[in-house]
Structure 1
Amino acid sequence: MRDRHGLLNIILVEDDDGDAKAIRRALTKAGIANPVRRVTDGVEALALLRGAQGAVPETFIILLDLNMPRMNGIEFMAELRSDPALRRAVIFVMTTSRDDRDRADAYDRHVAGYILKSNVGEDFLDLVGTLDRYWHLVELPRIAPLEGA
Structure 2
Amino acid sequence: MTDSRAAKSMPVQILLVEDNPGDVRLTKEAFKQGRIENELHVVSDGAEALEYLYQRSEYADAPRPDLILLDLNLPRTDGTEVLEELKNDAELHSIPVIVLTSSRAEEDIATSYELHANAYLTKPVDPDEFIETVRTFEKFWFSVVRLPSERDQ
Q: Deviations over 1:96-139 (max 9, x none)?
A: 11111111011112222111112664223332332222222222
Among all aligned residue pairs of Structure 1 and Structure 2, give the percentage whose two residues are the same amino acid: 34
Do 2:26 and 2:127's aligned partners in 1 also have CA atoms closer than 8 Å?
no
Change (3 A) 1:47 1:105: same
Structure 1: gaps (5+ residues) = none
| Aligned residue number for residue 147 of structure 2 | 140
State how far apart, in whole Å, the 1-side matches of 2:23 and 2:50 are: 21
Do 2:86 and 2:93's aligned partners in 1 also have CA atoms closer than 8 Å?
yes
Change (3 A) 1:120 1:109: farther
Change (3 A) 1:8 1:69: same
State how far apart, in whole Å, the 2-side matches of 1:85 and 1:3 are: 21
Structure 2: gaps (5+ residues) = none
Pairing of 1:1-149 with structure 2 (within 5 A): 3-5=3-5, 6-52=10-56, 53-58=59-64, 60-118=66-124, 121-134=127-140, 135-142=142-149
Does 128-137 or 108-117 show the bigger shift? 128-137
| Residue identity opposite 2:134 in structure 1 | V
TM superposition score normalised by structure 1: 0.84
Change (3 A) 1:142 1:44: farther
Do 2:2 and 2:146's aligned partners in 1 also have CA atoms closer than 8 Å?
no
Q: Give the deviation of 1:73 after TM superposition.
A: 0.6
How many residue pairs get aligned? The number is 145
State how far apart, in whole Å, the 2-side matches of 1:41 and 1:59 are: 16
Q: Deviations over 1:49-77 (max 9, x none)?
A: 11221334355111111101111110100
Hey, which bits of structure 1, 4+ residues long, moved more than 4 A?
A: none
State how far apart, in whole Å, the 1-side matches of 2:103 and 2:55 are: 30
Secondary structure in structure 1 of the residue aligned to 2:124: helix
State how far apart, in whole Å, the 1-side matches of 2:104 and 2:28 are: 23
Secondary structure in structure 2 of the residue aligned to 1:80: helix
Q: CA RMSD in A?
A: 2.4
